[in-house]
């Protein structure tokens, strides 16, 4: 069914219908994006406004982060960093560089290629929807989400005393960033066969943009202008305020979106320019064994979370020297990342290890969630209809989960130890960095135990595990900085560890946590053996 | 020793999901070496029965035996002797078809390499394509080839051909017959009548979690009517005096007579004798189709929510 076959008065109705469908499918994830992004910015702004409440403190901060080029490469070169808005832009720079593009990418990919590969788009295009309307509708709904997010950003900044013009320009510049990537995802959705391809290619382009922006900012050259992230930065909302730069992302996003709708109107449904390649015709012996197969299933998650852990520890380690300088100039900075009093280097390692524990626990929860998806998609049924017993299946996954956890924690801790040693010029922190990483293992395993127990008993309630993880993350990241009461801090298993190497490792607590994890895992195994499969 | 015992014995099986009763006193017996058609409308409990048989879910009450063992307690050991194709074939999108075959094969007891190669060729499967790029039919072929290549005593096939084209359906039927030749028992859940008719020796028809009827196809046909149409040289006259004959219609063509009637299978011989006397020119005898048997099984016991049944029967009429 082509757009040409629609009577002229049917055209707007086709788009309107499609808009309603996309809005209905997306409303929950769109709302989540708006709220989470809005809350993170408001949270960051509140934290920064409270910590840097005098011009002197802001000056110290600006001086600290502009010393050397490492932080510039990570957070970007913020013009007008000598202001409250500038500090917020800098603090939020890393988050925004990934979350805003991801908002655009995920909302568009979900509404276009994923619907097409599931066959639902075929159903709609069989009705009175023109071929290009799903793409247009997806872009419109995503744009509306971006505008709402930007609105919250501007209001949030203004609320904490950032000048209005700068707030609005900042919100629009990061909104433009999301818009470019929404357009890009719409185009990629026409070119690749699966939504996975849309994500992969968009994220590769995002990583390249990040690298280009970093190179440009560090070398102070025009290279920054090649990157969408550079366009947002060059708007300089708290510096020179170049409003005209907003035209670039707008034009780029519109051009990409127009190309996408043009393609959508002309290509065959279900077709793609880039098709996946072929693979081996036989499975290796490793893939045929239960553990080898579990490794294959969990490998992408292990590598992804490992990359996150290494990035975090490498960055913190490499910057440790500069951080120490910045903290010496501004004790509040130490307070903000939860280090407080004590040897600053130990404090930095302790804070990093706590963040690493959050990463490791996230990996565990996601990995157990993968088991749930195996079941929900019906593959577990096939798997268990052979000679593999439930115990062996779950045990092989548990072994791989544990192996993945060890890999992530050990390699990341090793990187932290080496990076701090290189940055500080001595090996004093190497041992403590490694040991404190290991000390968090029981706390992380408690979360794995909770996840396995819920999976074994009621996989449907798996959302509880994610909620628990979110609470743990919140307590770990913001608890110390926002002066939570001790009982609230104690709710998180990570608090029980004792904040090594700054605090002493609580060996009694580690034993208790290990025992708790063991009991939870046993409950998970026992319940899984007794329940029906599949159960969602 | 256990050779005489049925491969599958289910008696009075019930299964509740919360308040919903999915199985309500189901009986099913599958003997060694037979192809057993397992028929029922959508949602009648076929897949639930199979999951109980495989020990994936636990029966609420009733007796369930697989190879004389308890599938719930002894699943992995009993699974060594069977291969299963699920109704909704779900495979790992990132693996190639060939890799999936081997991964599935690794969970079956044993695996015949030569048969695997033959089947891949017969089903025209490209083993180097990723599963995510396969069509639904091709995914189904992967699961079928894996099951048929397994050295299993029992094949449990849950609507195995719903995504196959007619040519592949023929291939499937040929392969199932080949496997039966070697003594393999098959439980074939389906609502494609032609397929069951072509393959099955025994049939069990269920409805709303309960067995409606069970037996050989010929047993079932014995109680139903055969349609006869004959063109004869001479006029056979009025045939209504033959016992069990009905719906008689007669039409004179130029020199020939066209007679049509339905008749109880038991009295077919008498009727054909009469036609023979009149000199048969052409003769068509149509035994009752399974679809007719199926419809009859449902027609007899109209349930309280008949709409469900009708909807499903519309499906079976395809």
| Distance (Å) of CA B195 to CA A32, B40, B172, B288 | 50, 14, 10, 15
Would you call B99 and A379 a contact, using CB atoms and an 8 Å cutoff? no
Would you call B127 and A282 a contact, using CB atoms and an 8 Å cutoff? yes
Residues B49 and B197 in one domain: yes
Structure-block tokens of residue B19: 């308040």
Classify residue B2: in a domain, yes or no. no
A391 and B CB contact within 8 Å: no
Would you call A384 and B56 a contact, using CB atoms and an 8 Å cutoff? yes
What's the distance, CA A40 to chain centroid? Answer: 13
Decide if B23 contacts B15 (C-beta within 8 A). Answer: yes
Would you call A283 and B84 a contact, using CB atoms and an 8 Å cutoff? no
CA-based nearest distance B123→chain A, Å: 15
- Select from A193, A387, A534 the Cβ nearest to the Cβ of B107: A387
Q: Closest residue of B to A380, CA-based?
A: B90
Count of structural domains within chain B: 2
- A532 interaction partners in chain B (CB closer than 8 Å): 51, 56-58
Q: Closest residue of B to A292, CA-based?
A: B103
CA-based nearest distance B62→chain A, Å: 17
Last residue of a domain, one of B173, B198, B219: B219
Residues B53 and B166 in one domain: yes
Residues B240 and B201 in one domain: no
Q: Closest residue of B to A117, CA-based?
A: B132
Classify residue B318: in a domain, yes or no. no
Residue ranges per domain, chain A?
14-266, 285-530
Query: How far, in Å, CA of B123 to CA of B117, rounded?
Result: 10
Residues B126 and B266 in one domain: no
Classify residue B295: in a domain, yes or no. no
- A276 interaction partners in chain B (CB closer than 8 Å): 130, 132-133
Would you call B106 and A283 a contact, using CB atoms and an 8 Å cutoff? yes
Query: pLDDT per position in chain A (536 positions), as tens?
Result: 444 454 555 666 888 888 998 999 888 889 988 988 888 788 778 877 887 888 888 887 787 777 666 667 777 889 998 899 998 898 888 778 888 998 999 999 988 888 887 778 888 888 878 888 999 999 999 999 999 999 999 999 999 989 999 999 999 999 999 999 999 999 999 988 777 778 878 888 988 898 889 888 888 889 999 999 999 999 999 999 999 999 999 999 999 999 999 999 888 877 776 666 788 989 999 999 999 999 999 998 898 889 888 888 887 787 777 677 766 766 656 665 556 666 778 888 888 899 899 889 989 998 998 899 899 888 999 999 989 999 999 999 999 999 999 999 999 999 999 998 888 788 888 999 999 999 999 999 999 999 999 999 999 888 889 888 878 887 777 666 556 678 888 889 999 998 888 888 899 999 999 999 999 999 999 999 999 988 86
Give the angle subtended at the CA of A82 by the CAs of A79 and A87, to the nearest 5°. Answer: 80
Which long-range CB contacts under 8 A does B163-171 form with residues at least 24 apart? B163/B89, B163/B135, B163/B136, B163/B137, B163/B139, B164/B137, B164/B140, B165/B137, B168/B123, B168/B124, B168/B137, B168/B141, B169/B195, B171/B122, B171/B123
- A379 interaction partners in chain B (CB closer than 8 Å): 90-92
Residues B152 and B246 in one domain: no
Both ends of chain B: CA-CA distance in Å? 44
Residues B257 and B149 in one domain: no
- Select from A275, A297, A381 the Cβ nearest to the Cβ of B86: A381
Q: Look at residue B229 and give its three-state secondary structure.
A: strand
Residues B36 and B160 in one domain: yes
E runs forming strands in A275-397: none
The pLDDT value given to residue A311 = 81
- A390 interaction partners in chain B (CB closer than 8 Å): 75
Number of H helices, E strands in chain A: 23, 0
Would you call A385 and B103 a contact, using CB atoms and an 8 Å cutoff? no
Last residue of a domain, one of B219, B252, B273: B219
- Residues of the domain holding B146: 8-219
- B152 interaction partners in chain A (CB closer than 8 Å): none
Residues B12 and B61 in one domain: yes
CA-based nearest distance A283→chain B, Å: 4
Which A positions 266-305 lie with beta carbon below 8 A of chain B? 275-283, 287-289, 293, 297
β B8-17/B61-66 pair status = antiparallel
Residues B44 and B132 in one domain: yes
Half-sphere exposure of B54 (CA within 13 A, CB side): 32
B260: CATH: 3.30.70
Which residues lie below 8 Å from residue A180, measured CB to CB, with a gap of 6+?
A: A101, A104, A228, A231, A249, A252, A253, A256
Classify residue B308: in a domain, yes or no. no
Would you call B90 and A384 a contact, using CB atoms and an 8 Å cutoff? no
A383 and B CB contact within 8 Å: yes
Last residue of a domain, one of B168, B197, B219: B219
- B105 interaction partners in chain A (CB closer than 8 Å): 288
Residues B200 and B230 in one domain: no
B192: CATH: 3.40.50.300
Q: Look at residue A188 and give its three-state secondary structure.
A: helix
Residues B14 and B51 in one domain: yes
Both ends of chain A: CA-CA distance in Å? 37
Structure-block tokens of residue B37: 């058609």
Query: How far, in Å, CA of A161 to CA of A343, rounded?
Result: 35
CA-based nearest distance A389→chain B, Å: 5
**Interfacial residues of B (vs A; Cβ cutoff 8 Å):** 51, 54, 56-58, 75-77, 79-80, 82, 84, 86, 88-92, 95-109, 126-130, 132-133, 143, 156
């Amino acid at each position: 069914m082509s757009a040409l076959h629609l009577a002229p008065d049917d055209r707007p109705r086709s788009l309107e219908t499609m808009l309603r469908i996309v809005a209905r499918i997306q409303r929950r994830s769109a709302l989540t994006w708006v709220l989470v992004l809005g809350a993170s910015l408001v949270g960051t702004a509140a934290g920064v406004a409270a910590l840097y409440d005098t011009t002197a403190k802001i000056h110290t901060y600006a001086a600290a982060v502009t010393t050397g080029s490492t932080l510039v490469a990570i957070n970007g070169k913020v013009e007008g960093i000598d202001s409250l808005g500038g500090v917020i832009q800098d603090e939020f720079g890393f988050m925004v560089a990934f979350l805003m593009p991801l908002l655009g990418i995920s909302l568009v990919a979900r509404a276009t290629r994923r619907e097409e590969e599931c066959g639902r788009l075929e159903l709609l295009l069989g009705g009175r929807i023109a071929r290009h309307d799903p793409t247009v509708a997806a872009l419109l709904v995503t744009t509306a989400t971006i505008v709402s997010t930007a609105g919250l950003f501007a209001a949030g900044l203004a609320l904490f005393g950032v000048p209005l013009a700068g707030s609005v320009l900042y919100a629009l510049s990061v909104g433009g960033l999301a818009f470019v990537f929404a357009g890009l995802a719409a185009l990629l959705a026409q070119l690749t066969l699966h939504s996975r391809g849309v994500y992969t290619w968009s994220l590769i382009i995002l990583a390249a943009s990040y690298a280009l922006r970093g190179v440009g900012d560090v070398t102070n050259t025009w290279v920054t202008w090649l990157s969408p992230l550079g366009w947002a930065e060059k708007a300089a909302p708290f510096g020179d305020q170049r409003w005209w730069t907003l035209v670039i992302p707008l034009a780029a996003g519109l051009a990409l979106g127009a190309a996408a709708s043009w393609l959508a109107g002309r290509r065959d449904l279900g077709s793609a320019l880039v098709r996946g390649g072929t693979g081996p015709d036989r499975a290796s012996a490793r893939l045929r064994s239960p553990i080898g197969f579990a490794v294959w299933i969990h490998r992408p998650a292990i590598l992804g979370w490992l990359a996150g852990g290494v990035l975090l520890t490498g960055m913190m380690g490499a910057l440790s020297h500069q951080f120490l300088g910045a903290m010496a100039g501004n004790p509040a900075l130490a307070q903000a990342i939860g280090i407080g009093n004590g040897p600053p280097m130990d404090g930095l390692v302790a804070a990093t290890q706590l963040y690493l524990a959050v990463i490791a626990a996230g990996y565990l929860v996601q990995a157990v969630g993968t088991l749930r998806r195996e079941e929900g998609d019906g593959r577990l049924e096939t798997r268990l209809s052979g000679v593999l017993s439930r115990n062996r299946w779950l045990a092989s996954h548990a072994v791989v989960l544990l192996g993945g956890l060890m890999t992530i924690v050990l390699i990341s801790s090793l990187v932290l130890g080496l990076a701090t040693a290189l940055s500080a010029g001595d090996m004093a922190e190497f041992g403590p960095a490694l040991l404190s990483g290991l000390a968090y293992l029981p706390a992380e395993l408690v979360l794995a135990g909770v996840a396995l127990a819920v999976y074994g008993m009621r996989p449907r309630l798996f959302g509880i595990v994610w909620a628990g993880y979110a609470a743990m993350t919140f307590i770990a990241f913001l608890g110390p900085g926002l002066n939570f009461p001790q009982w609230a801090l104690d709710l998180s298993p990570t608090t029980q560890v004792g904040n090594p190497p700054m605090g002493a490792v609580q060996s009694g607590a580690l034993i208790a946590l290990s025992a708790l994890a063991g009991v939870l895992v046993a409950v998970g195994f026992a319940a899984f053996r007794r329940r029906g499969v599949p159960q969602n | 020793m256990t050779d005489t015992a049925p491969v599958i014995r289910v008696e009075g099986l019930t299964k509740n999901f919360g308040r919903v009763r999915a199985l309500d006193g189901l009986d099913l017996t599958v003997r060694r070496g037979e192809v057993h058609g397992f028929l029922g409308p959508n949602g009648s409990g076929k897949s639930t029965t199979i999951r109980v048989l495989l020990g994936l879910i636990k029966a609420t009450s009733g007796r369930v035996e697989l190879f004389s063992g308890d599938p719930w307690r002894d699943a992995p050991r009993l699974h060594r002797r069977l291969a299963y194709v699920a109704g909704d074939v779900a495979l790992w999108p990132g693996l190639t078809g060939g890799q999936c075959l081997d991964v599935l094969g690794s969970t079956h007891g044993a695996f015949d390499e030569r048969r695997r190669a033959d089947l891949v060729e017969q089903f025209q499967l490209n083993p180097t394509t990723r599963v995510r790029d396969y069509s639904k039919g091709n995914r189904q072929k992967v699961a079928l080839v894996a099951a048929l290549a397994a050295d299993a005593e029992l094949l449990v096939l849950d609507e195995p051909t719903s995504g196959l084209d007619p040519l592949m359906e023929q291939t499937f039927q040929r392969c199932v017959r080949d496997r039966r030749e070697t003594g393999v028992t098959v439980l074939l859940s389906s609502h494609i009548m032609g397929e069951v008719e072509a393959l099955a020796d025994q049939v069990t028809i269920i409805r709303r979690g309960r067995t409606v009827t069970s037996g050989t196809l010929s047993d079932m046909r014995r109680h139903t009517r055969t349609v006869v149409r004959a063109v004869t040289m001479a006029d056979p006259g009025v045939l209504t005096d033959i016992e069990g004959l009905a719906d008689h219609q007669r039409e004179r063509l130029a020199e020939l007579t066209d007679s049509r009637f339905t008749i109880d299978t038991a009295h077919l011989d008498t009727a054909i004798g009469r036609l023979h006397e009149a000199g048969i020119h052409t003769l068509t005898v149509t035994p009752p189709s399974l679809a007719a048997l199926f419809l009859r099984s449902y027609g007899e016991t109209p349930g309280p929510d008949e709409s469900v049944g009708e909807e499903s029967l519309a499906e079976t009429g395809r």
